[in-house]
Amino acid sequence: MTTRTMTIIQVFVSLQCILLFISTKADAFCPIPRIQTRQRIVSFAGFAKDNEASSKSEKNEKKRKGDSVRSTTGIRPSLHPVTINCVAEALLLRSKHCLLPEESTGIAIDIANSQTEPLQIAITAGGIALNAIEQRKSAAETDDTTEVFTMEEANTISGRVVGVVMRMRELERILRATVIQSNWVRKYGEEESFGCLRSECLHVETSEGATSSGMVLKDDLEKQLAETIKMNPLFRMNRAECLLALFLDTVERPKLEMLGESVPGGSKVDFIDADRLEVLLKT
């Protein structure tokens, strides 16, 4: 074989190797076909949509969690917070009425006002309770964890609010008499934790600040108390809690026991700390 022939063969082999190399590289760097790219995009979009749906499902599950847990345990929400708020509102309305000029006519809310019919006071108190129940119903429409009161629960709340308001002056007299008998309350000046003024208790104790019945304070103390109830929400709430506790213990519970009946949630006073409860109920 001549040298020329060998050279031609070598060139031919080299060309074959170069073509093979180019072909291999072309396959390696060849872009993904459009149909394959579209499939991958669709697949990714589907994955994202599944994740979004899963996330929404988890959120809805969390949102329904409160109701599902409550429904499985059968435990209904306490009626006391709503009732206490209603009593506090009644105290606020009475304080505003007390601070009005004598010739002014306010809302019928004070049983001590001889010019006001008891029926009017009961209607006002019932309206306060009804408004709170309606607010709860409206809240339940936008919040899945808030439950609407049943008819029995609504009647219990209304009955308690009307009962406390109609007996408010008597319950306040019992409250003052109970608080001034506690040594630790007097020693540490804790009258306001019961929603009472120190001056209110001291004047009643010495019979200088109350009428013969002990139910209505004299004008100066009455206005001082009304001003404090109006301006101090914590004081007002403490007084409302104590008045409700006294009502449950001295009026509702004995009456229900006598009749052999019960109300939703029972009549137990479980919304006041042990120290105050010991003073109020003498347990």
* Domains of the chain by residue range: 76-281
Q: What is the DSSP letter of 115?
A: T
What confidence score (pLDDT) does residue 276 get?
96
Cβ distance 266 to 251 under 8 Å? no
Which residue carries 């050279």 as its tokens?
Answer: 7
Sign of CA dihedral 119, 125, 128, 130: negative
What confidence score (pLDDT) does residue 68 get?
52
| Sequential pLDDT tens for the chain (283 residues) | 555 454 444 544 444 544 444 444 444 434 444 444 444 444 444 544 455 555 544 444 444 434 555 556 678 889 999 999 999 999 999 999 888 876 566 788 988 888 889 999 999 999 999 999 999 999 888 887 788 999 999 999 999 999 999 999 999 999 999 999 999 999 999 999 999 999 888 877 665 444 444 566 778 899 999 999 999 999 999 999 999 999 999 999 999 999 999 999 999 999 999 999 999 987 5
Q: Which residues fall within 8 angstroms of residue 195, CB to CB, at 6 or more apart?
A: 175, 235, 236, 237, 238, 239, 240, 241, 242, 243
